[in-house]
Structure 1
Amino acid sequence: MAARFPLVRLALLWLAASLLTGCGFHLRGNLPLSQYPAIYVQSEAHSELATLLKQRFLQNKVELISSYQADKPALTLVRDTLERRTLSLFANGQVAEYELIYKVEYLIQLVGQEPQRYQFELYRDYQDDPNQALAKAQELELLLSELRQQAANRIIRQLARLG
């Protein structure tokens, strides 16, 4: 009877692995960008999103080219903007909650193809409290950093899909 339990466990493990692979589950993390040995990234001078993207490319062992070359892919960050919309007010009329909208527009030009334009928006709710202005300012910076990281990840995933 003791010999049956290892077989049952092995069968259950095999079944779980089969179900996970069958449903398309993949672990997330650094995406291999081996199809892009080098890439040119163009952006505004002090773009924090561009800095994050360049770090991600270096982590994935993609060489960053300093000038455009027709035989290498190019990524152009057209714009990234942050807007905020009022969601709710306190009884005294001050804003209690904002919705942050981070918009990103970029172009990807692969070798021998026309540039493809992409854009997306990321949303976050932000509760404001004028009595805790310093803490809320730090929270806002953390939210912006998180939004930029998500945007960089999304652009990298788009590039990986195109290759």
Structure 2
Amino acid sequence: MLIKRIGFSMIVLSIMLTAGCGLRLQGSYLIPSKLQTMALTSQDKYSKLTRLVNERMRLNNIKIVELDKSTPRLNLISDSLERSTLSFYPTGNVAEYELMYHVNFTIQMPNEEAKPFQVEIRRDYLDDPRTALAKSREMNLLVNEMRIQAADKIVQAIAAFKQ
């Protein structure tokens, strides 16, 4: 009985210590109070990136509202994917690519100029022409992971935003 109480006390003590030192779970950000309600605008409100950013904002307790003059605004301006060659097989076929995913966005406070931001995610991707279908699926998975990482970085930028 005493051992159970000591064990329970140790667990409670460790939880209190980690909470007290500011430890937060990955992907969980402390959003400034002035940015806990925002408007989200985009060129394509149905794009995968817009949906991911919307989801990430909701997960971090940012209320998304319609755009008006008194609401801070996150504007997703553009996203693009580039691919460049890194290496070749001795036969001359491409062996490795570098994928670069770029996102441009702004954060604008009411009655202020919009502040521009850019996120860039890079990944290396091995290519084998003998397994084209599998490599195509792998590339789609990589691009989706890059979008998720970009959405997380956008929420990070909101959390770190200073006027």
Give the match for residue 48 of structure 1. 48
Cα gap change, 1:122/1:61 in structure 2, threshold over 3 Å: closer, same or farther?
Answer: closer
Give the match for residue 10 of structure 1. none
Deviation at 1:78, TM superposition (A): 1.2
1:120-155 Cα offsets, whole Å, 9 max, x none, are 211000000111111111100110010000000000
Partners in 2 of 1:95 and 1:150 — Cα distance? 26
Identity, % of aligned positions: 38
> 2:38 touches 2:74 (CA, 8 Å); kept in 1?
no
Give the match for residue 73 of structure 2. 74
Unaligned runs of 5+ in 1: 1-12
Partners in 2 of 1:162 and 1:84 — Cα distance? 31
Cα gap change, 1:91/1:22 in structure 2, threshold over 3 Å: closer, same or farther?
Answer: farther
Task: Figure out how many residues of one structure are paired with residues of the other and give that number.
Answer: 159
Partners in 1 of 2:45 and 2:161 — Cα distance? 27
Deviation at 1:116, TM superposition (A): 0.3
SS in 2 for 1:137: helix
1:48-67 Cα offsets, whole Å, 9 max, x none, are 111111112233251332xx
Partners in 1 of 2:55 and 2:25 — Cα distance? 21
Q: TM-score, normalised by structure 1?
A: 0.78
Give the match for residue 143 of structure 2. 144
Give the match for residue 128 of structure 1. 127
Give the match for residue 4 of structure 1. none
Give the match for residue 36 of structure 1. 36
Partners in 2 of 1:37 and 1:105 — Cα distance? 21
Give the match for residue 27 of structure 1. 25
Q: TM-score, normalised by structure 2?
A: 0.78
1:92-140 Cα offsets, whole Å, 9 max, x none, are 1110000001111111111232100011211000000111111111100
> 1:54 touches 1:64 (CA, 8 Å); kept in 2?
no
What is the alpha-carbon root mean square deviation over aligned residues?
Answer: 3.0
Cα gap change, 1:64/1:58 in structure 2, threshold over 3 Å: closer, same or farther?
Answer: farther
